[in-house]
Structure 1
Amino acid sequence: MQLRTFLTASAAAATLLALGLPAHAQAPANYKSEYRLSVVLGTAFPWGKGAEIWADKVRERTQGRINIKLYPGTSLVQGDQTREFSAIRQGVIDMAVGSTINWSPQVKALNLFSLPFLFPDYAAVDAVVQGQVGQEIFKTIDKAGVLPLAWGENGYREISNSKKAISKPEDLKGMKIRVVGSPLFLDTFTALGANPTQMSWADAQPAMASGAVDGQENPVSVYMAAKLSTVGQKYMTLWGYMNDPLIYVVNKDVWASWTPADQAIVKQAALDAAKEQIAISRKGMSEADKPLVKELTAQGVTVTDLSPAQRKVFADATKSVYTKWKPQIGTNLVDMAEKAIAARKQ
C-alpha cells in the first residue's frame, strides 16, 4: 500500500510538472512567512482596495508562497506618512502602495504631481504617468533605493470646508485647511491666503469634528468613504488643483530574495491591481454626469464645480508657487510633462 501511494503521488507530481505547474506551493527557505505591505488608507477606500487586490493576486498566483499582509494607517511608521519611503528603503516595510505626495520629501521629482493646476483632466494624468515622464520618475525612485512596479491613483484632490462655498481665492482667506506634510502644499495654500495646517489623516477627522480646522483637500472618494459630511464638511469645491498618483513598490532586498518567476508574478499582479484600482478611484467622477456629485448633493453638501475660467483665476493666484518649485522638481522633467499634457489625446 505504501509503495502504491508513493507511486501515485510521484505520478501526480510528474503530471503537474509536465503541465508546468509546481508539485507543491512550498516557498523557498529564504522566503518570509509574511510580507508587510504599508498603505495609508484601509480597504474601504480605493487606495486600500488597490493594495488588497495586489496582495490577493500575488497570494493566489504564487499558491501562497508570497503571503502579504496589509498594514493600513501607515501603522508601521506610527502613522507618519512622510517616513514611509525611508522605511521601505531600510527594510522596515517590505512593500507599499504609496502616495507621490507622501514620498516627495525623499524624492523631489514626485512634487511634479503637486504642482498647482498642472493636470486639467484624466487624459493629462495618463499621458504623464504612462509615458516617458512616468518612466523617468521610476528610474529616479529606483536610484533612491526602492523598486517601483506600477502606477495607481488616489485621484484629484478637491477642497471641502465647514464655513462657505469656495469659488474664488478670496474665499479661502484665513481659512484653516488641513494639509499633508509637504512644503509645496504649504506654499500653495499660503499663496491662496489660507492658513494651511499640517497633520496626519488620523488627526484630521477629529480636528474637523471639533472645528480646530475649517477644511481639508482630498479626492471625493476619500471624502465619501470617510463620511466627512458628518464632521461639518458641508461645502465642496471641485477645482482639480492636483492629482495624486500612487506607486506600487517593493523593497529591493525582498525583491532580490524572490525567484525570477515569482518576481514576474508580483510585477504583473501590481500592474493588474493598479489598473483595477485606477478604475475604482475614478468611478463616479470620470463620467460626464459625475454620479458621486449627485450623492454629495443628496447628503446636503453644497457642491461648487468651477468653470475653466474660475479655475484659471486660482491657477494665476498660485503661479508664483509653480515658478518657485519647477527648478526644484527639475525643469526638464516639468517641461516634458507640460509637452505630454499639451499633446494628449482627449
Structure 2
Amino acid sequence: MAIDTLRAERRALILGGAGALALPWIARAQTSYRSEYKMSVVGNRPIPFAEGAFKWAELVTERSGGRINVRVYPGSQLVGGDQTRELLAMRQGVIDMAVFSTINIAPQVREVGLFQLPFLMPDHKALDALIRGEVGRDIFGVMERREVVPVAWGENGFREISNSKRAIRTPEDLRGLKIRFAAGAIFSDIYTGLGANPVQMSFADLQPALSTGAVDGQENPINLFLAFRMDTLAQKHLTIWNYVNDPLIFALSRQVMNSFSPADQALVRDCAVEAGRWQIELTRRGLGVEGGDDSSIRELRQRGVEVMVLTAAEKQAFARVTRPVYDRWAATVGAELTRKAEAAVRAAAA
C-alpha cells in the first residue's frame, strides 16, 4: 500500500511538472497575437467615413475579448496625412487594417477607378448593384492579388459640387471656376473638360483655401460639407448632381489575416460587414434616399445654402460633355469590367 501511494505521488509530481512546463507554452499561444493592430482611416469622427473604421475596430476588439486589440489612427497619421499612401503602407507592414477610399487607391488599383467614371451611377440603387454584385467581387479579387484582403464595402457618398460664385445647373456654369479636387488625374480631366480650373489639394489645405478665395469651390459628400461647415467658408451654392461616388473598402493585410485563427478570420470579416452596412446607412442618412428622411438637405437650406437638385435631363447635359473623359478612362479601368458595370446599372434601373 505504501509503495502504491509513493508511486501515485511520483506520478502526480511528474504530471504536475509537465503541466507546469506546459503552462508557459499555453500562455505564449494565447498571447501570440500582437498587443495592438493599427488601423488607418482618412479624417476623424464625426464624419461617417471615419465612424465606419471606429465601429469596425470596436466590434473586433469587443467580440474577440480583447484578443485582437485594434486601435484606429485617424487622419491618415500613419502615412503623414497622405491618404494616397495607405495601400502601399499596408503592403509594407506599416498599416495592419484600413478603410480605404477607392479614390485614394485608384492610382495603384486601376480597376477601382470605375467608380470615378463620370455619371456612371445615377443613384444609390446603381451603386449597390455594383458593390453587391459581380463587379464588386471582381474588384475584391484584384485587391487580393496585391496582398490585401478586402472584407467589406462601405460608402463615403456621392460627391456634390459647391462654390462661392454662382449656381451650377449647366456645364457652362462651371467655366472659369477654380475647383479643388483631392486626388486622381481623372478629376483633373473632368473639370478641364467642363471648362473649370481644377486644383489638386489636400483636405487640410482646403479650408484655408476656401476662406481666402484661393479656390472658388470643391466637391465632397454632403455629410462632410455639413460636418466642416463649409457654408461658413463662402460655399453658398451647392449642386446635387451625383457625378461620382466614393465606395470604401474595409481591408487588412494578408500577413495579418493569415496570422489569425480561422475563427478569428471569420470574426474580423463579420465585424467588417456589420460596420460597413452601418456606415453606409449613416452616410445616406438625411439625403432623402428613395423618398426617405431629407433632414440634411433641409439643414443646408436653413444655413442659407442654395441647393440645386439636378433633374435627370440636366445631369445628362454634364454626362454628354464629359463622355470623352469617360471613354478614355474606361479603357484604363478595363473594357470588360466597365461593360459589366454598365449592364448592372441598367438592370438596377429596370
Does TM, normalized by the shorter one, top 0.5?
yes
Q: Is the 8 A contact 1:25 1:64 kept in 2?
A: no
Deviations 1:190-210 (A, max 9, x none): 111111111111111111111
Q: Is the 8 A contact 1:161 1:232 kept in 2?
A: yes
Moved more, 130-139 or 280-289: 280-289
Letter in 1 for 2:156: N
Moved more, 74-83 or 127-136: 74-83
Instruction: For 1:303 and 1:110, locate their aligned partners in 2 and report how far apart those are by CA, in whole Å.
Output: 30
Instruction: For 1:25 and 1:343, locate their aligned partners in 2 and report how far apart those are by CA, in whole Å.
Output: 55
Instruction: For 1:252 and 1:97, locate their aligned partners in 2 and report how far apart those are by CA, in whole Å.
Output: 15
Instruction: For 1:199 and 1:271, locate their aligned partners in 2 and report how far apart those are by CA, in whole Å.
Output: 32
Give the equivalent residue in structure 2 for 1:143. 145
Instruction: For 2:43 and 2:83, locate their aligned partners in 1 and report how far apart those are by CA, in whole Å.
Output: 11
Instruction: For 2:167 and 2:90, locate their aligned partners in 1 and report how far apart those are by CA, in whole Å.
Output: 40
Unmatched tracts of structure 2, length 5 or more? 1-25
Deviations 1:164-210 (A, max 9, x none): 11111111111111101201111111111111111111111111111
Instruction: For 2:318 and 2:165, locate their aligned partners in 1 and report how far apart those are by CA, in whole Å.
Output: 19
Q: 1:188 aligns with which of 187, 190, 195?
A: 190
Count of residues in Structure 1 that have an aligned counterpart in Structure 2: 323
Instruction: For 2:249 and 2:123, locate their aligned partners in 1 and report how far apart those are by CA, in whole Å.
Output: 19
CA RMSD of aligned residues (A): 1.5
Q: 1:161 aligns with which of 153, 163, 167?
A: 163
Deviations 1:82-123 (A, max 9, x none): 111111111111100010000000000010000000001111
Deviation at 1:261, TM superposition (A): 1.2
Secondary structure of the residue aligned to 1:178 is: strand
Q: 1:291 aligns with which of 290, 295, 299?
A: 295
Instruction: For 2:206 and 2:29, locate their aligned partners in 1 and report how far apart those are by CA, in whole Å.
Output: 42
Q: 1:231 to 1:316 in 2, by over 3 A?
A: same
Q: 1:313 to 1:63 in 2, by over 3 A?
A: same
Q: 2:136 aligns with which of 130, 134, 137?
A: 134
Q: 2:234 aligns with which of 212, 223, 232?
A: 232
Q: 1:28 aligns with which of 30, 45, 51?
A: 30
Instruction: For 2:168 and 2:95, locate their aligned partners in 1 and report how far apart those are by CA, in whole Å.
Output: 40
Give the equivalent residue in structure 1 for 2:280. 278
Deviation at 1:26, TM superposition (A): 9.1
Runs of 4+ residues deviating >6 angstroms? 24-27
Instruction: For 2:330 and 2:29, locate their aligned partners in 1 and report how far apart those are by CA, in whole Å.
Output: 47
Unmatched tracts of structure 1, length 5 or more? 1-23
Q: 1:25 to 1:158 in 2, by over 3 A?
A: farther
Q: Is the 8 A contact 1:27 1:65 kept in 2?
A: no
Give the equivalent residue in structure 2 for 1:259. 261
Secondary structure of the residue aligned to 1:344 is: helix
Give the equivalent residue in structure 1 for 2:270. 268
Matched, 1:326 2:327: no
Deviation at 1:71, TM superposition (A): 1.1
Q: Is the 8 A contact 1:152 1:248 kept in 2?
A: yes
Q: 2:39 aligns with which of 37, 43, 48?
A: 37
Instruction: For 1:304 and 1:329, locate their aligned partners in 2 and report how far apart those are by CA, in whole Å.
Output: 31
Give the equivalent residue in structure 2 for 1:68. 70
Instruction: For 2:263 and 2:316, locate their aligned partners in 1 and report how far apart those are by CA, in whole Å.
Output: 49
Secondary structure of the residue aligned to 1:280 is: helix
Matched, 1:313 2:309: no
Q: 2:218 aligns with which of 201, 216, 224?
A: 216
Letter in 2 for 1:330: G
Letter in 1 for 2:335: T
Q: Is the 8 A contact 1:25 1:63 kept in 2?
A: no
Letter in 1 for 2:324: S
Equivalent residues in 2 for 1:165-184, closer than 5 Å = 165-184=167-186
Q: 1:140 to 1:112 in 2, by over 3 A?
A: same
Instruction: For 1:157 and 1:149, locate their aligned partners in 2 and report how far apart those are by CA, in whole Å.
Output: 24
Letter in 2 for 1:335: R
Deviation at 1:69, TM superposition (A): 1.1
Instruction: For 2:129 and 2:83, locate their aligned partners in 1 and report how far apart those are by CA, in whole Å.
Output: 27
